[in-house]
Amino acid sequence: MRLVARSLADQVRWLRNHPSIVVWVLASDMLPRPELERQYSEQLDATDTTRPSLTACSTRVSEVSGPTGVKMNGPYDWVSPNYWYLDTERGGAYGFNTETGPGPQPPPAASMRRMLPEANWWPPDEMWDYHSGRNEFNTIDRYEAALRARYGDVDDLDAFSQIAQVANYEAMRAMFESFSIRRPQTTGLIQWMLNSAWPELYWQLYDYFLVPNGAFYGARDGSRPVNIAYDYADRGVVIVNETKAPLENVTAQLRVFDLESQLLVEAALTADVAPETVEAALTVPPLGEVAGNAYFVDLRLVSADGEQLASSLYWLSTQPDVPDWDASEWFWTPMAEFADLQGLQSLPETEVEVKHSFAADGSRVDVELHNPGDRIAFFIELAVEQESSGHLAAPILWSDNYVTLMPGESRSVSAEIPAHALAGENPVFRYSGINVQGD
């Protein structure tokens, strides 16, 4: 125990001047033995009193320091977006969840082709399982079942990967947003995990090849300090201000469209939002048969001088997801009923005007997107490929991706491209969307 306690002290001396260190964690799932915890405490008193210590990352009660005040109750596999808002006993949006995430995040098709032999590209088979996790996570069967039930059948790798990015974004954004808009009953959240150390289908915001998937952008959008978000529990529209400055005279705008891009509902509300505050703004009314099985909710937050501060798009169903709480296991909650979002795969096709330009040295690409038609252009994926290999250039950082354009909307997007991302090849720009023929 003395050796381990001295080791802690050495690590604290090594790292204590780094501003990113928030807390010293003394154990993961289990508590340290009481005598060891006492020795840890003595070492911390001598080396760093500027930060608190966390005795364990799970819900435990130490005889030395009392309750940990955090939880590690999962889930670790796919759960519906409303899970985070409805659950009050497991990993849902309350307290500090030290380790959780909605399970598999299959990467874009280009990465799938690099990680799997061509004979195993489609359909999912034992090679897909090999690139999953271990034990309960040695397959993506649960994820795939939810994907097919909610979004419909897919018949090849490209179709699977394309709709998987929609599902990845939806699942990850809901988790992060729920912990944002449920403040102060939520105090923190850590996603399991950032990325995998080998080509895998599970637990990653970007893959082994450093390519972000839809979950990366869902996490980023769901964590915006100034945001406008949809509450899956009560159909509310919420303004989030996690900054130190007030939001004065901002307007929350709500529009609801059916899958034919027909405007069904429009509303707006102007409000002041204090610093570090969440403000209820509007409510999405029940739509019933008028919306069909699925519909879009387009939310915008606009400043007093007309600047768009945040935008959020949701695809929802008149048939809600219903978790089967009684069948919950430690790593997930199965479903009694699934939402019906299958109409997204048969959206009316539309054309998008796309212009792009590379910097002379290939270090940047600027993209101008415009939707001139009267149809929503849904979930457009932007990519830069290496000209000869066809591999995605990575790592590159897009200012935005998986972009949806409302009728008449334009968007400017850019990406920084480090030289090594191209591996000496010329860059080629590509795009495609759920209902947009790509190039």
The per-residue pLDDT for range 346-358, each reduced to its tens digit, is 999 999 999 999 9
Q: Report the percentage of the chain scoring pLDDT > 90.
A: 98
Low-confidence winner among 87-96, 288-297, 405-414 (lowest mean pLDDT): 288-297
Distances (CA, A) of 439 to 156, 278, 289, 399: 19, 41, 36, 20
Cβ-Cβ contacts under 8 Å for 20 (sequence gap 6 or more): none
Per the residue annotation, which of 29, 35, 153, 260 is the catalytic one? 29
pLDDT in tens, 132-154: 999 999 999 999 999 999 999 99
Please state, rounded to an integer, the average pLDDT across all residues of the chain: 97
Q: What is the pLDDT of residue 77?
A: 98
Two tokens, residue 306? 């007309």
pLDDT band at 438 (very low <50, low <70, confident <90, very high): confident
Instruction: Using the structure block, give the residue that is written with the tokens 């690139």.
Output: 131
As a whole number, mean pLDDT of residues 374-393 equals 97
Please return the burial class of 214, using the count of CB atoms within 10 Å of its CB with bins 0-12, 13-18 and 19+: buried
Q: How far apart are CA 175 and CA 218, in angstroms?
A: 9
pLDDT (0 to 100) of residue 291: 81
Strand order through the sheet with 236-241: 226-231, 236-241, 277-283
Q: Does 196 score more than 90 pLDDT?
A: no
Provide the 10 A C-beta neighbour count for residue 28: 11
Residue 168 has pLDDT above 90, yes or no: yes
Which one of the listed residues 77, 99, 170, 221 is annotated catalytic?
Answer: 99
Confidence band, pLDDT 50/70/90 cuts, at residue 86: very high
Instruction: For residues 170-190, give the mean pLDDT.
Output: 97
pLDDT > 70 fraction of the chain, expressed in percent and rounded:
100
Q: Looking at the predicted structure, is the pLDDT value of residue 99 above 90?
A: yes
What 8-state DSSP symbol labels residue 211? -
pLDDT tens-digit series, residues 4-44: 999 999 999 999 999 999 999 999 999 999 999 999 999 99
Structure tokens at 400: 């935005």
Structure pTM?
0.96
For 408-436, how does the pLDDT look when each residue is reduced to its tens digit (9 = 90+)? 999 999 999 999 999 999 999 999 999 99
pLDDT for res 46: 97
DSSP 307: -
Distance CA(317)–CA(333), nearest Å, equals 20
Q: Is 29 a catalytic residue?
A: yes
Query: Is the four-CA dihedral 387, 389, 394, 399 of positive or negative sign?
Result: positive
Q: Is the pLDDT of residue 64 over 90?
A: yes
Question: Quick check: 112 pLDDT over 90?
Answer: yes
| Residue 53's pLDDT band (cuts 50, 70, 90) | very high
Q: Is the pLDDT of residue 288 over 90?
A: no
Q: In the predicted model, is pLDDT for residue 183 greater than 90?
A: yes
Q: What is the pLDDT of residue 289?
A: 81
**pLDDT for 261:** 97
pLDDT at position 439 is 85
At residue 60, the pLDDT reads 97
Q: Quick one: pLDDT band at residue 290, thresholds 50, 70, 90?
A: confident
Q: Please calculate the CA angle 226-202-380 and round it to the nearest 5 degrees.
A: 50
99 carries an active-site annotation: yes
